Structure 1
């Protein structure tokens, strides 16, 4: 089933080697916390993925040399924008690592799409 029309969050964090271990730790905490999200209704979490890999010297050439930096990518798809609002409400109330997440995000390069609409999709 396609996610076209659903709401999604995509975030990319780019960092040097000194910040990777904290990213690993934060996302282990995050995935465990995300398991408590609703799976049905307007606030339903439909998909959750974390990817990690090397930043390349030429971002559009998969054969280019790694820079030594790492990129984490988070993708969350929700039934409606209400899911994103509920996600942040819950994070502020119940995710113990939110302060560490905010501190870490402030030290690295971050690009974010909040409450985007999926406009193309397969399956």
Structure 2
């Protein structure tokens, strides 16, 4: 009996790990790429750290408006982005990437934006940098742990 219970508990664990619960196919992404001059880099770090704290305290972690991923990455801008040994331009590239269960999560995010205490500062900062905005991308291909390569 003990072996049978152990087998079923192990099976349930395996099903959870490989069930694809982290699949993001058809989820919606908000991605901003910002090329930031040196004099604005430190301010950018401070504003995005403040933004992350606000996101953590206000956004849904489950349900139809769930925020599944939130990350901000940076790298030095290079004269040849695919050659890591190429000359640095002096700018820093910030990339904001948020993944939501559906478009309602992104809309909820935009509706909440005025509540973010540093929004006026962040908006002013973003207006000073070169930006590319994808406000509602639909994920059609995804590699996530627990589900393997997925695609439409």
Out of 30, 48, 51, the position equivalent to 1:30 is 51
Consecutive aligned runs of 4 or more in structure 1 exceeding 4 Å deviation: none
Question: Equivalent residue for 1:113?
Answer: 134
Deviation at 1:54, TM superposition (A): 0.3
Question: Equivalent residue for 1:61?
Answer: 83
Distance 1:2 1:63 in 2: 35
Question: Equivalent residue for 2:124?
Answer: 103
Larger Rg: 2
Question: Equivalent residue for 1:91?
Answer: 113
* Matched residues, number: 122
Structure holding more helix per residue: 2
Distance 2:84 2:133 in 1: 22
Distance 1:69 1:31 in 2: 22
Distance 2:23 2:64 in 1: 17
Cα deviation, 1:51-83, whole Å, max 9, x if unaligned, reads 011001012333322111100000000000000
Comparing both chains, which one has the higher relative contact order based on Cα–Cα distances under 8 Å and sequence gaps of 6 or more? Answer: 1
Calculate the TM-score normalised by the size of structure 1: 0.95
Calculate the TM-score normalised by the size of structure 2: 0.77
Question: Equivalent residue for 2:41?
Answer: 20
Distance 1:116 1:62 in 2: 28
